[in-house]
Structure 1
Amino acid sequence: MQHDNGTGRHDEAAEKAAPATEVLARIARHQAAGRLDQALELLDGLIAQHGPLPRLLHYKGITLGLRGAPEDAEALMREGLRKAPDDPLQHLDLGVLLVGQGRADEAEHLFRTATELAPNYGAAAANLGALLVQQGQYGEAIRQLDRALELDGSNVDVLTNLALAQLRREGRRAAVDVLYRALAADPLSARAHGLLAGALYRLERHDAAEHHARRALELAPESTEARLHLANALAARGALDEARALLLEAAGRPPAGLAALARLVQLGKVTPQGPERALVAQYLERADSLEDAAQATLHHAAAKVCDDLDDPDRAMEHWHAANAISARLHPHDADAFAARAARLRAFAAPALLARCSGAGVSDIAPIFICGLPRSGTTLMDQMFSGHPQVTAGGELRAMPQALHEATRLRAALEERLPEDQITADDFAQLGERYMDLVRAEGIRSEYVSDKMPSNYLYAGLIALALPRARLLVMRRHPLDCLLSNYTQHFGRNQPFSADFDHLARAWTVFDDMTRFWQEALPGRVRAVSYEAVVQDPEGQMRPVLDWLGLDWHPAMLEFAGASRPVVTASQAQVRAPLNAHAIGRWQRHARHLRPLAARLRAHLPPADLARCGLD
């Protein structure tokens, strides 16, 4: 938040006996330099000479606030505002004072009033936008910050706040563009370098992410955020030891210490001699003082420590606590999810498939690796990264984005447009947009693997838009897969993962969709067992490659040492040689999984039900 000593819309000349401009300028210089006693002395002199004019009360209030007397500051600023209620500057600076006291709702009202009084007052829009980012109101924050940039396009604080709002809304590419603008305005902005590192990391541009993270750390050597961003980039390319060292430096130090600790415990098995246990215990002692989202992060980290140290009961207590918080913060509408899946199946009826086939884009042959999260999609993608004809694209957002932009298809899916008005050209446009988005990632190869898990929902649309596309649907033991989701801190990204009932319903939807697409799209959809791939990778991959029309390459089994970066919850696992440690993990937690197993009766054999204590 920023104070503004500008004029806003209030006409200070209208105040009788206006103080000399040069004296006010001296006061502003004293404030900026921290010479607050001198500033107060000059202000008291002006008030004695000219009386308690609104702006003088206002400036004295600002000075007292800077001096650490917020109550006295607020009293003076409110008196100034009472005398000049149409002065946007008074509203703005009082709002900044209240933000510092944690009184965001009152500050928001003042900022909004300032923007109404002076629509072209950039500082008011900037401060309102910054506050809305803090409150999680990202859509309106972006609108306010865009407006502030129209009025001052080089304000680095506005640019970085806008980028942060875009990142929270998953607008990573837009955020990258904005952050490059911020660095053009101020190449020494550590915050811009740090945010850019985070955005580039999520876009899997790891060399660039590492560069900007290192630059942020050079500019702000004590920054825990910069260490966290650099560690993420290093871990993504397999430099796990260096990443752990950075995370250990940052763990426990605000403001990103807890995030660093959570990442640290995920990058390898915690040992009794390791520092993670003590660090987690320190946070648990003051857990009640943390915000809800931070408490969820802490409980997930504590659960991982307990699980690694062979205390599954205590681990499950922490996972339950973490997910109870996540379920409250990020509600999941299981009915809406199931209805959407049913609508996608109904839409891709045989008549539509027959009527709209034959179009689409054949210049690219995507290999969609999909399924529920934690089902082995990352493993399969890494194996394809060793094939010389395939570019492993990672979790591409190309298909979800292309579908979002396909307004006619969306209208038909939402039953706002009759299905008989959908033509083969609608699917051709979908395929063209998908290919454009893939090419925008720098991928030029004919074959590209796309491991966005949720693409299994759209198999019918994909088949019509991309005739050469094939879908590999990863299947894993239901309890292993769903337990892995439950124990992973997805937050708002996978809200179904925080509740046993929602997990079971997600599995049922997934199973129904997979079976439906295999029947509706013969030769286009193939189910692959995660367990079978782990136990016999070559034996499983050879027929898959035959199905894709590709030759076998032994390099597909060398993914443990692959240089391709990985951005996934599975970073540490996919850097290790294949092993069966994750197979049957659910069994050590079987007693705690009884409620989940009960909801999955139709999908589990009697022996697994019995192990969970069910008849």
Structure 2
Amino acid sequence: MAGLPADAVQRLHGAARAIRDGAFDIAQRLLGEVLDVAPEHPEALRLSGILNNQRERYADAQAFLLRALAQRPDDPYIFMDLGSAQQGLGERDTAHASWQRACELAPHEPMPWFNLGRSLQLEGSTEAAVGVLQRASELSPDLLPARILLADALAHLGRFDEADVEYRAALQLHPACGDAWRGLANIKMRPLSERDREELALQFRRANIAETDRIAMGYALGKVYEDHGRYPEAFSALNEANFRMRRLSPWDADGFHTYTDAVIAASETLPAPLDATLGREAILIVGLPRSGSTLFEQILAAHPQVEGASELNDLGEVIRDESIRCNEPFPRWVAAATAQDWQRLGQDYLQRTVRWRANRPYFTDKMPENWLYAGVMRAMLPGAHIIDTRRDALETAWSCFKQQFYRLPHFACSLTDIAAYLRDCERAMTHWRNADPQHIRTQSYEALLADPENEIRALLDFCGLLFDARCLDYHQATRSVRTPSASQVRQPLRHDTARSAHYGPLLDPLRAALQS
């Protein structure tokens, strides 16, 4: 605050409180008043950067923070907030460099380590994330988000004993931590004990807990009840958790049906690609969540020529950025897109994903919802191979209902919405596969169970890969798996994963919705 008059100091304190409380307009006014008096004061500029980060105005945030950095070039807090702005702009490498510099300047401060570790974990650099998040947890043992992210990273690497320790350490800090209970419940090879169930049920009934924690604990409680064979209680817990999730942001099934129709129609007339081989490095795995997609990715990633990248946001970001450029939402701009436009978009995607081809020539992109873009892939990435994973519809739908999805609104919070979404997905993918069978394959989970070797041979052949016996032993692969199936795909094929029959007539409404 050095060099500021007393009233400006008070305004900065007020702005900081307003940012903390989410009163962004008040913060904007107070910071503007300070900058009118001292336009280059570094603390006013830093707080302006924080405010714009909170408002997701990342370019403005970066501009303020660079001005602040010019005044205080060795300030670790400016570097920390600058990294957040750069990440918001999609500049991964510069964001990491900023956070790394903050760690160097303030090695005993936990937040730069936490921010760097969180980013590494989100982009799939899980091994590196573990070390960084361990450092954050050592510096601040009561930093709950660091504990949770560290536990998640360890689980993704298959280090389940260590993950269990970290989740339970988080529960020592906050016994009603929904994310910790969620993580423990997702280690499917190690069901929670009766004692755990009793403690979870006790915490779930507390009145003074956050709604987000109650929701996450509801899903975990449903999983525990199912593991203990208490199916009516499992259904009740899951039904309540989904009701609470849907209340936050309802899904519009009718609107999505109309949107799917528009996407199908837009893909009917596309220009011939300028380079029919563009994207041959990419294997896109799409379809419904909980349909076996992680398993099929694990099989492919066991091949020595394939890197398993897990769930990538890059394709959606390319489509989003083009929608912004065209000032029209997808798929309205599709009709006007030229072959050159599609090639540019395909090259953009390949550049964004180049890090996944550093060691192996092919990579998997397992983002189930990318099925919406499968129809335009023959123009954008005509050389890519698309795998549409399918599992018994009832099992898939029920598995979706049992899983907490954090992006809202989401179709999985209602059994009837799940059925409608499943039908939209399957009709679109069937339409596009019939139009381009060379590049789209429907892969059945049940067919894999019935004849593993022949199905794996056919899958590899479809992707242009020679058979490799290591794909049969996919569960021995040591890569990071960043999905709720992280523990399941580290086991040999199981034939006892079906659960819906245990619920009997409780699922009759879902059965009816799937048949309508």
- Give the TM-score taking structure 1 as reference length: 0.74
1:479-536 per-residue CA deviation (whole Å, 9 max, x = no partner) reads 2111111111112267111122321221111011111112221322111111221332
Q: What secondary structure sits across from 2:285 in the alignment?
A: strand
- Residue 56 of structure 2: which of 136, 139, 164 is its match? 139
Which residue is 2:514 aligned to?
Answer: 600
Q: Contact conserved, 1:394 with 1:451, CA < 8 A, in 2?
A: yes
The answer as to whether partners of 1:327 and 1:499 remain within 8 angstroms in 2 is yes
Q: In the aligned structure 2, how far is the partner of 1:391 from the partner of 1:298?
A: 34
Match in the other structure for 1:481: 396
Do the aligned partners of 1:390 and 1:446 also contact (CA within 8 Å) in 2? yes
| Amino acid across the alignment from 2:512 | A
2:417 is matched with 502
Q: Which residue does the alignment assign to 2:67? A: 150
- Deviations 1:155-190 (Å, cap 9, x if unpaired)? 444554565688799987675454224224323221
From 222, 231, 249, the counterpart of 1:330: 249
2:122 aligned partner: 202
Q: Which runs of structure 2 are paired with 1:511-522 in the superposition (5 Å)? A: 511-522=426-437
| Offset, 1:376 | 0.8
The CA deviation at 1:443 is: 3.7
CA–CA distance in 1 between the matches of 2:89 and 2:324? 24
- Tell me what 2:235 maps to: 316
Equivalent AA in structure 1 for residue 508 of structure 2: R
Partner of 1:462: 377
The structure showing larger relative contact order (alpha-carbon pairs under 8 Å, at least 6 residues apart) is 2
| Aligned with residue 91 of structure 1, among 1, 5, 11 | 11
Q: Is residue 298 from structure 1 mapped to residue 217 from structure 2 by the alignment?
A: yes
CA–CA distance in structure 1, aligned partners of residues 378 and 480 of structure 2: 29
State the secondary structure of the residue aligned to 1:450: strand
**Residues 417 and 388 (structure 1 numbering): CA distance in 2 closer, same or farther, change over 3 Å?**
closer
1:382 pairs with 2:301: no
Distance in 2, matches of 1:282 and 1:171, equals 44
**2:357 maps to 1:439:** no
Written as runs of structure 1 = structure 2, the 5 A alignment for 1:209-358 is 209-254=129-174, 257-268=177-188, 273=193, 275-286=195-206, 288-349=207-268, 351-352=269-270, 355-358=271-274
Q: Which residue of structure 2 lines up, in the alignment, with residue 575 of structure 1?
A: 490
- C-alpha contact 2:58 2:86 (8 A) present in aligned 1: no
| Separation in structure 2 between the aligned mates of residue 272 and residue 449 of structure 1, nearest angstrom | 32
1:558 aligns with 2:473: yes
Deviations 1:308-362 (A, max 9, x none): 222121222221221122112234333443333222211221x42xx42353553
Tell me by how many angstroms 1:290 deviates.
Answer: 1.8
Seq. identity, %: 28
AA aligned opposite 2:317: Q
Query: What SS class does the counterpart of residue 289 from structure 2 fall into?
Result: coil
Match of 2:463 in 1: 548
Give, in whole Å, the separation in 2 of the partners of 1:174 and 1:334. 40
Once the two structures are TM-superposed, the CA of residue 202 in structure 1 deviates from its matched residue by 1.8
| Residue of structure 2 equivalent to 1:27 | none
The question of whether the paired residues in 1 share the 8 Å contact of 2:151 and 2:163 is answered with: yes
**Could you say if the C-alpha distance between residues 497 and 178 of structure 1 is closer, same or farther in structure 2, counting changes exceeding 3 Å?**
farther
Give secondary structure in 1 for the equivalent of 2:387: strand
Unpaired runs of at least 5, structure 2: none
- Write out per-residue CA displacement over residues 5-26 of structure 1, whole angstroms, 9 at most, x where no aligned residue: 4454x4xxxxxxxxxxxxxxxx
Q: Please identify the structure whose Cα radius of gyration is greater.
A: 1
Pick from 111, 114, 130 the counterpart of residue 191 of structure 1: 111
- Cα distance in 1 for partners of 2:145, 2:225 equals 26
Provide the secondary structure at the position in 2 that maps to 1:492. Answer: coil
Shift of 1:566: 0.5
Offset at residue 264 of structure 1 (A): 1.3
Q: 1:176 to 1:319 in 2, by over 3 A?
A: farther
Aligned to 1:367: 283
User: Structure 2 vs 1, CA of residues 143 and 98 (structure 1 numbering), >3 Å: closer, same or farther?
Assistant: closer
1:392 to 301, 308, 312: 308
d(CA) in 1 for partners of 2:338, 2:428:
24
Residues 595 and 412 of structure 1, relative CA distance in 2, 3 Å threshold: same
Amino acid at match of 1:371: G
The amino acid across from 1:342 in the alignment is: D
Kept in 1, the 8 Å contact 2:389–2:442? The answer is yes
- In the TM superposition, what is the alpha-carbon distance from 1:217 to its structure 2 partner? 2.7
1:18-55 per-position Cα deviation (integer Å, ceiling 9, x unaligned): xxxxxxxxxxxxxxxxxxxxxxxxxxxxxxxxxxxxx5
Q: Secondary structure at the match of 2:407?
A: helix
Map 1:107-186; keep pairs closer than 5 Å.
Answer: 108=24, 110-119=26-35, 120=39, 122-124=42-44, 126-127=46-47, 138-140=55-57, 143-144=60-61, 147-152=64-69, 155-157=75-77, 159-160=79-80, 176-186=96-106
Distance, in Å, in 2 between the alignment partners of 1:167 and 1:313 is 45
Cα distance change, pair 426–542 in 1 and its aligned pair in 2 (3 A): same
Match of 1:428 in 2: 343
Q: Distance in 2 between matches of 1:310 and 1:418?
A: 50
Query: Any idea what the Cα deviations from partners look like across 1:181-215, whole Å, max 9, x if unmatched?
Result: 42243232212212322221121111211110222
**Deviation readout 1:458-495 (Å, 9 max, x if unpaired):** 12321222232121100111221111111111122671
* Cα distance in 2 between the residues matched to 1:360 and 1:315: 50
Coordinate RMSD, CA, aligned? 3.2
> 1:115 & 1:422 partners in 2: Cα distance?
43
1:277, 1:169 → 2: CA distance?
43
Distance 1:513 1:364 in 2: 23
Structure 1 Cα separation of the partners of residues 219 and 84 of structure 2? 25
**Amino acid aligned to 1:540:** E
Code of the residue aligned with 2:291 in structure 1: it is S
SS for the counterpart of 2:482 is coil
Measured in 1, the distance between the counterparts of 2:387 and 2:294 equals 12
Aligned residues: 509
Question: Which segments of 5 or more consecutive residues in structure 1 lack a partner in the other structure?
Answer: 11-54, 56-86, 603-615
CA contact (8 A) 2:177 2:213 kept: no
Letter in 2 for 1:341: T
Provide closer, same or farther for how the CA distance between residues 544 and 140 of structure 1 changes in structure 2, counting only shifts above 3 A. closer
Name the aligned partner's letter for residue 311 of structure 1: R
Residues 403 and 111 of structure 1, relative CA distance in 2, 3 Å threshold: closer
Alignment deviations for residues 372-416 of structure 1 (CA, whole Å, 9 cap, x no partner): 111111000000112122222222333222223335996687576
Instruction: Determine helix, strand or coil for the equivalent of 2:13.
Output: helix
SS in 1 for 2:386: strand
Q: What TM-score do you get using the length of structure 2 for normalisation?
A: 0.87
1:403, 1:409 within 8 Å by CA — same for their partners in 2?
A: no
